[in-house]
Amino acid sequence: MNNVLSIAWKLEWLQVHGYVREINGEQTLSTKALSLISKVPVVRLRLAVAKGMLEEGNTFHIPEDMLRDMRRGIKELQAKYNTTSMIEILYAEATK
């Protein structure tokens, strides 16, 4: 039960501080949050989103090399924090 309360508290903290947002009833990550959990620089993420929006409209395709880098980054953080919980990892990275 404490773990559930801890996760809920951390999620609320992440929302208050702008890492997790609600858009059209769906929880989404800010680019800063995505950068923290993937270890891909914010600028690189923003450029990929901007390029995709120009080329593809309201959606975008994440380039394969960026996907590879994102997967590598999250695996490193999962090992570092010994968890697969995105909330735990994001909170730890955001508060360090």
pTM, rounded to two decimals: 0.83
**Residue 86: which of 36, 23, 26 has the closest Cα?**
36
C-beta separation of 59 from 65 below 8 A: no
Confidence category of residue 41, pLDDT binned at 50, 70, 90: very high
Q: What is the mean pLDDT of the chain?
A: 88
Regarding predicted confidence, which is higher, 46 or 50? 46
Residue 37, pLDDT > 70, answer: yes
